[in-house]
A and B are shown apart, each in its own frame.
Chain A
Amino acid sequence: MATLNSKIPEGPLAEKWTKYKASQKLVNPANKRKLDVIIVGTGLAGASAAASLGALGFNVKVFCIQDSPRRAHSIAAQGGINAAKKYPNDGDSIGRLFYDTIKGGDYRAREANVHRLAEVSNNIIDQCVAQGVPFAREYSGYLANRSFGGAQVSRTFYAKGQTGQQLLLGAYSALSQQVKAGTVKLYTRKEMENLVVIDGKARGIITRDVRTGEIERWFGHCVVLATGGYGNVYYLSTNAMNSNGSAAWQCYKKGAFFANPCYVQIHPTCIPVHGDYQSKLTLMSESLRNDGRIWVPKKKEDAEAIRAGKKTANDIAEEDRDYYLERRYPAFGNLVPRDIASRAAKERCDAGYGVGTGKAVFLDFKEAINRLGKDKVAERYGNLFQMYQKITDDNPYETPMMIYPAVHYTMGGIWVDYELQTTIPGLFAAGEANFSDHGANRLGASALMQGLADGYFVLPYTIQNYLSAEIYNDRIPTTTPEFDSAEKEVKERIQKILDVKGKKTVDTLQKELGHIMWDYVGMGRTKEGLEQAIPMIQALKKEFWSNVRVDEGNECMNPELEKALRLADHIELAELIARDALQREESCGGHFREEHQTEEGEAKRDDQNFMFVGAWQYKGENETPEMHKEDLNYEFIKVQQRNYK
């Protein structure tokens, strides 16, 4: 088995990043102009990387599938962004943020990366404030903080319930400035369809213009993948309709290893599913758990009565309510990490205590409204309450919200080393697209932190280190055989889909995949289930290639074709998720194997055998991929059972 070199710098943990920066190679300004950097994706990681690299003087080309960079799904993040600013003087520090993130990730993240993340977290807040991000403030005029799941300090900065939006708009504005300055070229409504590898190095991409179907070739001295996660494999998720893992999958097929695909985060506070026609699930920010209390009825007959519509939440007396998170985890209560809160909700519903359709629990603000007053609650969560009411037609000020877990984030992704470089030299991955910082579970308000850390403060250094050797290489014309064949692959794949002319629409097949994934590779996984799922997914793949129906051709705006191209990749990716879940004979973070739990129903890790990153290598069409292990060595942290009790 090949060993993966994570290129972690030597030395004490707290000095690694400083040392790296001091010894990395740089590119002089005159040479920067001669180097092309391709960035795919304009979310927090992509936009911030493009802006920063553009400002440094590199020639950046940035691509997004939407009509504007500002629409990337980072915009939907609600709650906040963590930083170890310790403004509230409540005992926070870089070390504690580092520790919380590692522990939150169930000891499956790389120490050095996480520490670097905690170190630069403060710079992110400084940067964003300087860009004009209107973070919430106290009357003093200083920044306000709130607390989030998995932490006992208040370190989360927020901008109403729209923190992701504000941070993304900050990065977008920085990007726009560079576009105007001419250092960044912006290409919208173009979807990456293939990676071009020349002499073992990533040298460009092939895109499809979603307006015209035109297939185009682009050269770059290096390529940055910032295309987000693959949650949409599950069909119903909190991801946007266009979020997809296709670009990452194409890179995987070109030789980039895919790490920990089974680590999928199921977010505990989403609006429950209510019909077959539903296209997506809406997240209710985790910040709601600051003041909301989660409960189900104590008595089964009450739960049944509520489901039947005979009783409402307000009919259940206080002593008949089971605040199960507070009961099971008195230390963290409603603020336990996401994986734990999700599983606890599933456990109660599976046991027959669910409300609504049976797959929902209450999130109650009555106590908060009594304690703080309706105005204060409205000030904190007004827009979330309004959104909830728009969707469900229920007023959360009067009746408790109903919530249920839903697929939200993928901790797994393209394997990267300390420099965020993948196993293909010159191909970098940032943000949710890589696997690096969250281990098996991501803490709330950490995704924004990671995306911006990668884009603003990590890639500008590490890419330079790579590009310093590239100054001797001129731009490669996009007419080389490698570009030819990459483009041909794309055209053939499109033609193959169009030629199927089957009977099932893409959405139908996508839903079928979603059902398999949610039922067998969802919150609770078993060996038998996973072994069943893999052939089912393979059968679905066959069905896709023989029975998918995509009308109209390639030469026009054709969303069905876009979806089909993504689904083809998602089906393959689904199989890898199942394989990875099967291989990981333990429960950790977002990955819960029902065989591996304590008597109390908590996740049971197996540090002896599974303290590694599982990085999968593509071996060819219909071949079993090979898994490589990157062992995780915890030098500075004492590994222990995660305990939020």
Chain B
Amino acid sequence: MDFTLKIWRQENAQAKGHFETYKLTGISPDCSFLEMLDILNETLINDNIAHPVVFDNDCREGICGMCGLYINGRPHGPDDGVTTCQLHMRRFKDGDTITIEPWRAKAFPIIKDLVVDRSAFDKIIQEGGYISATTGGVPDANAIPIPKQDADEAMDAASCIGCGACVAACKNASAMLFVSAKVSQFALLPQGKPEAKRRVVKMIKKMDELGFGGCTNTYACEAECPKSIKKTNIARMNREFICSKCTSNEQ
């Protein structure tokens, strides 16, 4: 298969970026998207065309959340429910032009080419995305039964990989789906209850501070989430937020 690639190139955070167009021929349809970029980079080096395109990637099996490209107007490309590394070239037509951009958000500054800094997500988690259980000194694992449905729902929320596709897809670059997945997970579990009221307020405050937008319920995040995290998590977080604001004793 042959492709024309329009790729965003940007030397560093301060530099002004631009699109470069590269032609790539003879790609197998079984090739993954990132493998296609590997081949491109080999070609760029060997043919002395340009420095290789820098893009984040690690596990290449859709779980680490490292990869993330905005491909032809959709985060993680045209396939639903997959990360960029699991996207295969058979999803494109021979001769297609593919435009590849980095995640765009104020809270995700570009480091180089297609690599962005997502440490804002870590900062949100640090505000309250945990249950304070110091090592040791916890009850037996079966001491508190948890209804299967709650556990399953918590698991679904917890399967977020923190890739940032929700932010990239959202017209407001909002991190609501990401934050709500974590808030939901703990809201559903009895272990998460003691800190629930503080957690939701602090995490949202941090999200706002970091420059993410607000939610306008467009649900592009849900449509693009490679782990199919549901928008009902956002509703649950809103509920938690209202409940916290109305009943919390803390200032």
- List the interface of chain A (C-beta within 8 A of B): 48, 51-52, 55, 66-73, 75-76, 85, 87, 122-123, 125-143, 159-160, 162, 164-166, 169, 172-174, 176-177, 179-180, 186, 188, 211, 238, 240-242, 274-275, 277-280, 282-283, 386-387, 390-391, 393, 456-457, 460, 505, 507-508, 549, 551-552, 556-560
The listed residue (B86, B134, B155) touching A159 by CB distance below 8 A is B155
A240 x B138 contact (CB < 8 A):
no
- Least CB distance from A445 to B in Å reads 16
Contacts of B154 in A (CB 8 A): 132, 134
Contacts of A278 in B (CB 8 A): 35
Q: Would you give the 0/1 interface string for B101-120, flagging 1 where the beta carbon is closer than 8 Å to chain A? A: 00000000001100101110
CB contact under 8 A between A460 and B30, given known A131-B191, A173-B129? no
CB contact under 8 A between A169 and B38, given known A73-B58, A129-B191, A551-B45? no
Contacts of A55 in B (CB 8 A): 134-135
B88 x A241 contact (CB < 8 A):
no
CB contact under 8 A between A551 and B51, given known A67-B118, A143-B142, A180-B126? yes
Q: How far is the CA of A132 from the CA of B82 in the complex (A)?
A: 26
**Interface assignment of B208: CB less than 8 Å from any CB of chain A:** no
Residue of A72, A76, A179 ringed by the most chain B CB atoms within 10 A: A76
Q: How far is the CA of A616 from the CA of B191 in the complex (A)?
A: 46
CB contact under 8 A between A277 and B35, given known A71-B66, A283-B61? yes
Contacts of B148 in A (CB 8 A): 137-139, 141
- Least CB distance from B7 to A in Å reads 15
The 5 closest A-B pairs by CB, nearest first: A141-B145, A173-B130, A130-B138, A130-B133, A134-B155
Contacts of B57 in A (CB 8 A): 241
Residue of B56, B79, B88, B90 ringed by the most chain A CB atoms within 10 A: B56
Contacts of B159 in A (CB 8 A): 160, 162, 165
Nearest CB in chain A to that of B116: its residue: A67
A174 x B151 contact (CB < 8 A):
no
- List the interface of chain B (C-beta within 8 A of A): 11-12, 28, 30-32, 34-35, 38-39, 42, 45-46, 51-52, 54, 56-66, 79, 81-82, 86, 88, 90, 111-112, 115, 117-119, 121-122, 125-127, 129-136, 138-142, 145-148, 151-152, 154-155, 158-159, 161-162, 185-186, 189, 191-192
Contacts of A391 in B (CB 8 A): 32, 86, 88
CB contact under 8 A between A142 and B135, given known A75-B64, A188-B119, A240-B64? no
Nearest CB in chain B to that of A172: its residue: B125
- Least CB distance from B36 to A in Å reads 8
- Least CB distance from A107 to B in Å reads 31
Q: How far is the CA of A72 from the CA of B88 in the complex (A)?
A: 24
| Besides A211-B111, A507-B38, 11 new A-B residue pairs in contact (Cβ under 8 A), listed by A number | A52-B135, A68-B65, A129-B138, A132-B189, A143-B142, A173-B129, A176-B129, A177-B130, A241-B57, A277-B38, A279-B35
B191 x A130 contact (CB < 8 A):
yes
Nearest CB in chain B to that of A48: its residue: B135
B161 x A68 contact (CB < 8 A):
no
Nearest CB in chain B to that of A78: its residue: B63
Q: How far is the CA of A210 from the CA of B158 in the complex (A)?
A: 29
- Least CB distance from B44 to A in Å reads 10
A67 x B119 contact (CB < 8 A):
yes
B185 x A132 contact (CB < 8 A):
yes
Q: Can you sample 29 A-B contacts with CB below 8 Å?
A: A52-B135, A68-B162, A70-B65, A76-B61, A85-B141, A126-B141, A130-B133, A130-B191, A132-B154, A132-B186, A133-B158, A137-B147, A137-B152, A139-B148, A160-B159, A166-B158, A169-B158, A173-B129, A180-B127, A188-B119, A241-B59, A241-B60, A275-B31, A283-B61, A386-B81, A393-B88, A393-B90, A505-B46, A507-B38
- Least CB distance from B195 to A in Å reads 10
A70 x B162 contact (CB < 8 A):
yes
Contacts of A131 in B (CB 8 A): 130-131, 133, 191
- Least CB distance from A17 to B in Å reads 14
Q: How far is the CA of A188 from the CA of B127 in the complex (A)?
A: 18
Q: How far is the CA of A34 from the CA of B100 in the complex (A)?
A: 49
Majority secondary structure of chain B interface residues (helix, strand, loop or mixed): loop
Contacts of B31 in A (CB 8 A): 275, 277
The listed residue (A71, A123, A125, A549) touching B58 by CB distance below 8 A is A71
B191 x A71 contact (CB < 8 A):
no
B64 x A73 contact (CB < 8 A):
yes
Nearest CB in chain A to that of B202: its residue: A180
Q: How far is the CA of A136 from the CA of B129 in the complex (A)?
A: 21
Nearest CB in chain A to that of B81: its residue: A386
Contacts of B126 in A (CB 8 A): 176-177, 179-180
Q: How far is the CA of A241 from the CA of B38 in the complex (A)?
A: 12
Nearest CB in chain B to that of A138: its residue: B148
- Least CB distance from A303 to B in Å reads 22
Contacts of A125 in B (CB 8 A): 141
A132 x B191 contact (CB < 8 A):
yes
Q: How far is the CA of A188 from the CA of B117 in the complex (A)?
A: 10
Q: How far is the CA of A85 from the CA of B82 in the complex (A)?
A: 35
Contacts of B82 in A (CB 8 A): 390
The listed residue (B65, B117, B138) touching A126 by CB distance below 8 A is B138
Q: How far is the CA of A75 from the CA of B38 in the complex (A)?
A: 23
Q: How far is the CA of A322 from the CA of B11 in the complex (A)?
A: 57
B112 x A140 contact (CB < 8 A):
no
B62 x A387 contact (CB < 8 A):
yes
Contacts of B162 in A (CB 8 A): 68, 70-71
The listed residue (A123, A142, A283, A559) touching B145 by CB distance below 8 A is A142
Nearest CB in chain B to that of A166: its residue: B158
A177 x B60 contact (CB < 8 A):
no
Contacts of A135 in B (CB 8 A): 141, 151
Nearest CB in chain B to that of A65: its residue: B58
- Least CB distance from A116 to B in Å reads 15
- Least CB distance from B222 to A in Å reads 18
Contacts of B111 in A (CB 8 A): 211, 557
- Least CB distance from A293 to B in Å reads 24
- Least CB distance from A102 to B in Å reads 25
Contacts of A143 in B (CB 8 A): 141-142
A174 x B42 contact (CB < 8 A):
no
Q: How far is the CA of A252 from the CA of B159 in the complex (A)?
A: 37
- Least CB distance from B108 to A in Å reads 10
Contacts of B63 in A (CB 8 A): 75-76, 162, 164-165
Q: How far is the CA of A139 from the CA of B86 in the complex (A)?
A: 33
A71 x B135 contact (CB < 8 A):
no
Q: How far is the CA of A557 from the CA of B102 in the complex (A)?
A: 15
Contacts of A133 in B (CB 8 A): 158
Residue of B28, B141, B152, B159 ringed by the most chain A CB atoms within 10 A: B141
B135 x A137 contact (CB < 8 A):
no
CB contact under 8 A between A556 and B12, given known A134-B189, A165-B159? yes
Nearest CB in chain A to that of B160: its residue: A169
Residue of A66, A139, A241, A283 ringed by the most chain B CB atoms within 10 A: A241
A390 x B88 contact (CB < 8 A):
yes
- Least CB distance from B32 to A in Å reads 8
Contacts of A393 in B (CB 8 A): 30, 88, 90
Contacts of B88 in A (CB 8 A): 390-391, 393
A66 x B112 contact (CB < 8 A):
no
Residue of B28, B111, B139, B158 ringed by the most chain A CB atoms within 10 A: B158
A240 x B59 contact (CB < 8 A):
yes
CB contact under 8 A between A559 and B54, given known A67-B66, A71-B65, A141-B146? yes
Nearest CB in chain B to that of A157: its residue: B141
Contacts of B145 in A (CB 8 A): 137, 140-142
Nearest CB in chain A to that of B67: its residue: A241
Contacts of A66 in B (CB 8 A): 58, 64, 66
Residue of A67, A87, A173 ringed by the most chain B CB atoms within 10 A: A67
Contacts of A240 in B (CB 8 A): 58-60, 64
B66 x A557 contact (CB < 8 A):
no
Contacts of A386 in B (CB 8 A): 81
